[in-house]
Amino acid sequence: MQRTKIVHLLQSDAAQEDVVVMGWLRTKREAKGFAFLELNDGSCLANLQIIADATIPGSEHLEQLGTGASLKVRGNLAESPGKGQRWELQATELSVFGQADPERYPLQKKRHSDEFLRSIAELRPRTNKYGAVNRLRSELALTMHRFFHERGFFYIHSPIITGLDCEGAGELFRVTTQDPQAAGSQAARDADFFGKRAFLTVSGQLTAEVMACALGDVYTFGPTFRAENSNTPRHAAEFWMVEPEMAFADLQDAVDLAEDLVRTCVGQVRQARDEDLNLFARFVSTELEARLDLLQEPFERITYHQAIDILAQSGRSFEYPPEQGRDLQTEHERFLSEEYFKKGVVVTNYPASIKPFYMRVDEDGQTVAALDVLLPGVGEIIGGSQREERLEGLTERMQVLGLQPEEYEWYRNLRRFGTVPHAGFGLGFERLLMYMTGVHNIRDVLPFPRTPNNLSF
């Protein structure tokens, strides 16, 4: 089927004859002898107005058409005499692919709550808000791929099924072919398909390190999974991570790349999809433009100990009092980025006791070369580190944290055979979208959110 997308017609420099559009009806207004139809095909936020005369072929369907019906319209693109639109389509022929029963179709011309729209995930992408979110997802993903390609990074695919718990938190989804209620020993059930326990990945980092230690600069971009029974607006069971890994790099290189990535990608998406972003500036957050402008400024860079001191001396009463040796909470991260510095913040050199085994221990023996990037309104959006490239230090950290070094023999081999300093980080893709749009709940920037007790299809 040949058609012209509505976005291209609305950007046309001249009138066009005999064009075909296909899409879903948003609204219909009838007048004597003709009807005004607003059609949207998902290619952009704006609708195309169609003037359908009662004498054209297919006009017998006009009376039954309701919001949500799918149409094919042939006609001529002409300048519109109406305000707020340059072009309209003067229909010469109309046909209907599918009707939408107005008594049952849930997306009528009114404002629907996010909670209601989550219950109809199969239809919510047709709304202005969620159509815009998904176009922004696509643009941001493309921009990130372009960012890394231009800097000489190779795109790699890390495993979805893994035997590793990268973060050591134990919040893993088991992958099994066996009925957990079936008879048999626990050892037999653990052996299963792969001969050992298998999980959905929580991060592509460790395998990205393998590739970086052969290709230099690489990145992986894919879904990750956490079995956290959490219903906060920031957490989901399935989400996407961008994880670059650089050989012959240190903590400073990772910090510089992280800041460059956020600033560059947001700036380019802002230019490419300003219409979609403006929707969120009008209806979701009136402070969105100012928030995006903050990324034009260099990020503040402080150590973990400086961060704790700032929080302790702030005079603020926090639900979780800041204390040296304890991890920063979301309320701490947002205070630092929103109220104290009022811009992006990079916090480095966290206590080793609260960080995973793979982070490089600093010369003081107490902290690690870790980094977190904090943004106003969201909190932590990036977490990373320089990796521990020294075999003895890595093995010691594994033992301290109760891991079995022999289970990571392949990972330790990277330190035995031509070890190099290397560094990287993970960026939460949805959290960056939340920052860009002002959306407060991660469920509303995921096309099909997976959260506790929510697996609609």
Q: What pLDDT digit, counting tens, does each position of 310-363 carry?
A: 999 999 999 999 999 999 999 999 999 999 999 999 999 999 999 999 999 999
Instruction: Report pLDDT digits (tens) over 219-254.
Output: 999 999 999 888 888 889 999 999 999 999 999 999
CA distance 86 to 82: 8
Instruction: Report pLDDT digits (tens) over 97-148.
Output: 999 998 899 998 888 999 999 999 999 999 999 999 999 999 999 999 999 9
Please report, in angstroms and rounded to a whole number, the separation of the first and last CA atoms in the chain.
29
Q: Per-residue pLDDT for 168 more than 60?
A: no
Q: Per-residue pLDDT for 169 more than 60?
A: no
CATH 3.30.930.10 domain position(s) in the chain? 124-444
pLDDT reported for residue 456: 76
pLDDT reported for residue 187: 67
CATH 2.40.50.140 domain position(s) in the chain? 6-107
Q: Name the superfamily (CATH) of residues 124-444.
A: Bira Bifunctional Protein; Domain 2 (3.30.930.10)
pLDDT reported for residue 77: 97
HEC profile for 381-406? EEEEEEECCCHHHHHHHHHHCCCCHH
Q: Which fold has domain 6-107?
A: OB fold (Dihydrolipoamide Acetyltransferase, E2P) (2.40.50)
DSSP state, residue 216: S
Instruction: Report pLDDT digits (tens) over 34-46.
Output: 999 999 999 999 9
Residues pairing with 361 in the sheet? 368
What predicted TM-score, i.e. pTM, was given to this entire model?
A: 0.93
DSSP code string of 66-129: -TT-EEEEEEEEEE-SSTT-SEEEEEEEEEEEE---TTT-S--SS---HHHHHTTTTTGGGSHH
With b for 16 or more beta-carbon neighbours within 10 A and e for fewer, the 371-382 pattern comes to bbbbbbbbbbbb
pLDDT tier at 284 (50, 70, 90 boundaries)?
Answer: very high
* H-run or E-run covering 282: helix 274-283
Closest CA to 125 of 436, 427, 365, 447: 447
Tell me the residue type at 324: Q
Closest CA to 388 of 347, 424, 427, 348: 424
Of the two residues 192 and 409, the one the predictor is more confident about is 409
pLDDT reported for residue 91: 97
φ/ψ of 424, rounded to 5, equals: -175, -175
Instruction: Report pLDDT digits (tens) over 246-281.
Output: 999 999 999 999 999 999 999 999 999 999 999 999
